[in-house]
Structure 1
Amino acid sequence: MKINIYNFLMCIICISLASCQEQIKENNLALEYAFNDSYWRIESPDGSADSLKIVDHQGRQSLLLNPGQKAILKDIAFKNFVVEFHCNGQVPGFGFRVQDPKNYEYLYLRMMMSGNRDALQYVPIHNGNLPWQLYNYPQYEGNAIYPRREVATIPLSMKDQLVSGKASDSLLTAIGNEGVEFSEESFVDIPDGSPAYIYDPRSGEALLFEAKEEGIVFLDIRTWVHVKAEVLENKMSVYVGDMDTPTFILDDLKHDTQAGGISLYSNFGEVHFSDFSITEIERGDTQSSEKDAKRIAPSYITKWHLSEMFVKDAVNFVQQADSLLKHRDKFKEINADKDGLVNISRFYDDMDKTILLTSKIVSDSEKEVTLNFDYADHLVILLNSETLFDGGMNFRPPPNKGAEGRVFVEDERTKLKLQKGTNWLVFVLSGDNRQKYNWGCIAKLEDLDGISLE
């Protein structure tokens, strides 16, 4: 009898909880997920379980993630939702629609880049790779303003001490007198187009600096930032600080529109999170964005045939390519993204390898046409077995490439001398075997007069 009563009570409780959940969905109510072991589990960079750390930080009780750690919301999946939280750190990240540890949508904040066009970054994670060079502004990166915390001010007369290179003893003493300790290993960097900063490799500490009327002010980027993201079908709107006006809108999330998990990430330095809540959206009135999608020019090469992966012979790669092309029937047909970008991580996961991409170009006569293209990480272009281009970034992008190696179709160009009839364009494309981030390309012909892409 006691067992029957117990079972009856548990049934009532389960029905009540389910009813509450449905009511929350219907009324679009925010659910707070406190940072405790009931809701969250912590993973170390090697995938092992770790302990959850709750600390008081700059006036807020927060979850602390060490570099490389992630926090995973347990056993709950969301498709359309609004998420809201506060974060504090160098590069806080938010993963959503997580299908498994290596496949999900990802948004992260570059706190050092406040006010710049790359302050926010969206990337689709395929096979665990982070292709930030492929997905760039203005579509996949956005501007945002982050608060700064002033920690030291030194006289303007010391401006000549702030030059790129090893930090001088007088500079270290001056900021030390302001209560900011940096070791003798510290250095100053003043990059073009990015904030100037001082960095201590011993402690991992970094401060921005800028000249103001009152002196040279040193700024800590690690302050609390209020973030909200609305995810609806294949669109995302991101709010930073101002919860009424989005600072970044993306209308082409790359993964399939389906429910998935939620994760929080710390990529560089410690990151704190607090006040995490999710409002699930149950709406069926949104249509696919196909009719709103911007159509790219037909001169983009969007249909390719992809080979299996192989280990590239640095000397005899042309012979390798010719040998593989004899078995072109084993290649698989793939389509580029809507913007013409080909992300090889969608198909393969080993960035130590190389693949072939082939495209058939049919010309009505002998003619010369310009091919615009870009790539990551190393590319050889062959036309009818003749080498036209051989270039790589090797972590230091060539000067003519996009900022920090970002991939833009106008960055590179070469002439294609087409023969009448069929021409085979071949990309021999190698992955980023150092950082394991970027592996892809984009290409278009300057005109299609008398030319067809098949």
Structure 2
Amino acid sequence: MKKLFTIVCLIVSGYLEAQVVPFDSSAWTFDGNGVIPEYYEGESALYLKASGAELSAADFLNGVIEFDMYLKDLWTFSGFYFRVADANNFEELYFRPHRRGKPDAYQYCPRINGKASWQLYHDQHRGVYTGNPEFYPQENHHGYNGKIDLPLDRWMHVKVVVSGNQAELFIDNEEEPSFFIHELKGPKVKGAVGIYTGWGGVHFANFSVISNDNQQLSKTSKVEFAPLEDRIMSWQVSGVIEEIKLVPTVMDPEVTNGLKWTKLASEESGVTNLSRVAAVQGKKNTVIAKIEINAEQDIIKALTLGYSDRLAVYCNGQKIYAGTNGYRTRDFRYLGTIGLFDEVYLPLKKGKNVIYCAVSESFGGWGIMGQIDREGIKIKGE
């Protein structure tokens, strides 16, 4: 018991020497039925299948997390998490061995109000910012997902270094980080760390964590990004409603009357993560994102939009657009990742115009982004 107590104390105190936490330590708590401690391929390991293991006493904010994974050619989403504020809010990173060598073999996925937001945070192409599906160099990525030739049938070392709102991910003991996460999006709190798998099983070994409030990152990895030009800077976001209450052709005043509105700023990329102010509650899976536009004269303006998963747009009460951008809604390979791929034309009248965007969520991220030329118009609150 004295040894186990010492291990937990080292984790909590931030002692700057890596200490492997044995999986038979009482410091771990386990979730799920697929949890098997065993000696595997030369290591004292933990096998997880659709299960997880957590060090609740880690109290981790900044520092280093390291462990080994033994991947097989299976459909699985397996990784780790940290900075746990509660069961619905934490930082998460995982690997897709069935996608090894592809642009989405690795994924950063903050969980906010219960929503895993991988459809909002990705590096698949410039389309997020330009509307054009053009792939671009790795060095210009935000670090949210990317290509890794994940090794199979052997131990792979994983190391993440966290400092402030950024992190570096090292794979297989490489000297340079495989990915630099430009901006962490989850809670900035001290909390638990853990490992988990979904679907196919994975072995873990040699897990260690070091808390270090003065943790430093590699100076060469930092990349700066310009904000999206003409992005909508913020939206007024309603409370959650049932999607079925939206009528086919107009915005029924009975839907909007009595709604409470919260101002939510967009990120530099233009993405506005609606989960920050709303949580899906059963059939209540829809919010209305609102902007008010003052036009100098009657004019038609193009509004470029990205969204996840479904969208209906109303201009002065009249429905002018509806679309679907969810996972596998267009073909079996379609991810539903957000990007500026849709455009609607707003018939603005001189003076005040109210634009409602009803956004409904099913899976993978709840968001909206918008871009509009400001010549001849002004958006309230900017």
Q: Same fold, TM exceeding 0.5?
A: yes
SS in 2 for 1:323: helix
Please report how far the alpha carbon of residue 83 of structure 1 lies from its aligned counterpart in structure 2 after TM superposition: 0.9
Cross-structure match for 1:61: 44
What displacement does 1:235 show? 0.3
Q: Does 1:95 pair with 2:81?
A: yes
Verify the 8 A CA contact 2:293 2:379 in the aligned structure 1. yes
Residue of 373, 378, 381 corresponding to 1:452: 378
Q: What is the CA distance between 1:135 and its match in structure 2?
A: 1.4
Alignment root-mean-square deviation, CA = 3.0
Contact 2:80 2:196 in 1 (8 A): yes
Tell me how far apart the structure 1 counterparts of residues 201 and 11 of structure 2 sit (CA, whole Å): 37
CA contact (8 A) 1:143 1:247 kept: no
Q: Report if aligned partners of 2:166, 2:183 keep a CA contact under 8 Å in 1.
A: yes
| Aligned-partner SS, 2:115 | coil
**C-alpha distance 402-56 of structure 1, shift in aligned 2 (>3 A):** closer
In structure 2, the partner of 1:338 is 268
**Structure 2 unaligned spans of 5+:** 124-140
Match in the other structure for 2:61 = 79
Structure with bigger helix share is 1
TM-score by length of 1: 0.70
Work out whether 1:389 is the aligned partner of 2:377.
no
Distance change (3 Å), C-alpha of 1:144 and 1:285: closer
Q: Deviations over 1:213-261 (max 9, x none)?
A: xxxxxxxxxx422111001110010011133111111121112422111
* Other structure's SS at 1:404 match: coil
Q: Conserved in 2, the CA contact under 8 Å of 1:402 and 1:408?
A: no
CA distance in 1, matches of 2:122, 2:164: 21
* Matching of residue 375 in structure 1 with residue 379 in structure 2: no
> Hey, what's the Cα distance between the residues in 2 that align with 1:402 and 1:443?
25
- Please say if residues 84 and 276 of structure 1, whose CA atoms lie closer than 8 Å, have aligned partners that are also in contact: yes
Q: Deviations over 1:23-71 (max 9, x none)?
A: 9846x31121111142211012xxxxx695212333332101122x110
Paired position in structure 2 for 1:9: none
Q: Which runs of structure 2 are paired with 1:52-451 in the superposition (5 Å)?
A: 53-67=36-50, 69-89=51-71, 90-137=76-123, 138-139=141-142, 140-149=144-153, 223-283=154-214, 294-297=225-228, 299-313=230-244, 316=247, 321-327=252-258, 330-350=260-280, 352-353=283-284, 354-393=286-325, 395-398=327-330, 403-409=334-340, 411-432=341-362, 436-445=363-372, 447-451=373-377
Q: Displacement, 1:408?
A: 0.9
Distance 1:327 1:292, change over 3 A: farther
1:173-215 CA-to-partner distances (Å, cap 9, x unmatched) read xxxxxxxxxxxxxxxxxxxxxxxxxxxxxxxxxxxxxxxxxxx
Amino acid at match of 1:111: P
1:85 aligned partner, one-letter code: F
Instruction: Look up the SS of the partner of 1:313 in the other structure.
Output: helix
What's 1:201 paired with?
none
Give me the whole-angstrom Cα distance separating, in 2, the residues matched to 1:129 and 1:387: 28
Deviation at 1:319, TM superposition (A): 5.2
Is 2:262–2:277's contact at 8 Å kept on the other side of the alignment? Answer: no
Alpha-carbon distance in 1 for matches of 2:146, 2:325: 24
Paired residue secondary structure (1:345): helix
Q: 25, 29, 34: which is aligned to 1:41?
A: 29
Gaps of 5+ in 1: 1-12, 45-49, 150-222
The answer to whether the Cα contact below 8 Å between 2:171 and 2:178 also exists between their aligned partners in 1 is yes
Contact 1:78-1:261 within 8 A present in 2 as well: yes
Tell me the number of residue pairs that the alignment of Structure 1 and Structure 2 aligns.
Answer: 349
User: Structure 1's 394 and 116: CA in aligned 2 closer, same or farther, altered over 3 A?
Assistant: closer
Letter in 2 for 1:440: G
SS of corresponding position for 1:225 = strand
Retained in 1: the 8 A contact 2:303–2:346?
A: yes
SS of equivalent residue, structure 2 residue 335: helix
**Cα contact 2:20–2:207 (8 A) shared by 1:** yes
Q: Find the residue that maps to 2:205 and give its secondary structure.
A: strand
Instruction: Tell me, in whole angstroms, the C-alpha distance in 2 between the residues paired with 1:297 and 1:142.
Output: 22
Give the structure with the higher percent strand: 2
Paired residues of 1:363 and 1:421 also in contact (CA < 8 A): yes
Taking every aligned residue pair, what percent have the same amino acid on both sides? 26
> Aligned partners of 2:238, 2:12: CA distance in 1, in Å?
51
